[in-house]
Structure 1
């Protein structure tokens, strides 16, 4: 069967990773169906794919479906050979409880897997997160790998990380207990960078945007980075490769790095666009003080000074995955923000 006869469901079609997965699938000849909460966003999704170089036409179709409800999921999964499930509900407001994060994420994963099983889907590739691997551990003497799970007994696990951990575990449990032969693979990317396709971009992209727009310095935070195009490529490999069945795959390019070093890459590679970039490291005390007023900084405090290195050796060995460098991912992000006029300095 050629790829043009194979239909793939990609959930959460407005998402950054999901759209790059759709680009990769369409470029490989697959037919794609995607879910959106509102069909009013179809034009925006198609425009973003056009920015990514693909005129999808009739090879792309849309179904309205919400992770919080059963409606639409049977229709979405019908006739699909594979599912890439990256949609994840995100509660709004700063006062959301753990339960408000966790319950929708767990229920949403199970809802999609049940629809996939009932439709006779062969394999689901779940977009999980490094947050399901790295949280609550404290200092590590080795890189994180796929055998690690976040320690939910730690008081330093934030609701997002808890929701990603519990929802991925729920997915593996469902497939083991009720999957009836449905296959599952999970992709756990670190901080995802790469070309932005439109004005609705992910939280990780804001990191680069803030540095380029002149934030006064960098907290002593460490992270791994990976290009979204390589994350999409890993999803495709995990979708069809025999060795990927029942496996998790960490996605990171090279070693982790400090934010100040990331700023240094921008300074070195982006010319005048990086005129406002500061490579200064903010003292931990300043960040802790700022976190008292800024909820966005609060989650960073337990991570100050922690090395969050990880390894993608498994994906490289089993699936032949070969990501571009972290530096190229950083530069591609900056270039796309400038190209689309999304930086204050470029408008």
Structure 2
């Protein structure tokens, strides 16, 4: 501050930089707490399920605008609540692993009590909104939340290699939530969407577990590569990806374009996975598998939406 009592340009600049840095830090902590990328990856299938339910029931998007927002906001809050509670419960593991040691629960930027209450409040508010849709959507929302928070996070993650199978259920119900907000889930399309997501998550998660194998070992998390090694993990990845091959053909109602592109993507992933049986550089291959899996599921669900766009024009 100069003699006139007015902050100097130099000091004002420092204050501005400090404020900007603080705001960026808070945003980073919130994104880390909500697991931003994971949250978005789970919300996309909810939207796809909702969109395809409108398509196959011949319903108008404009007539279901209110239900759409209730479903998307409600499901997002429930998923976010589950992810936040996972952060709260896994703070001891996150402290050990390099990939998670910058989360605000580890750094202490957010208190564990505040994090727990945030997770609970998000969950409760999400379910309140979902109750204004259809009860079946509430049921699938609860299945996803309970499976992830209780059966995966609190029970199986540290004990059994089957934790991946259990955790995959929570991610796989997301299109069922979107679909059942409009119509009954007893339809081949949402069931196949569920199966695609369930099977996809196995090789995807195994690829992550291979990349971070030593971190999981240090944290004593019972991931398949840690307990049974890379060779068994790679063989299981091939089997799971092969199981994806017939699924696009059950979605023939989405058109030939979808079936052809989805099949090409499946074959490509299978080829890459088989190559892994012979590679010498397991970690480099696991990274390629991870990248393929992320792009695979994103493009596949976007394709489901794109091929049905003309109906709503």
TM bucket (normalised to shorter chain) is: 0.3 to 0.5
* Higher-helix-fraction structure: 2
Find the structure with the greater CA-based Rg: 2
Q: TM-score, normalised by structure 2?
A: 0.34
Q: TM-score, normalised by structure 1?
A: 0.31
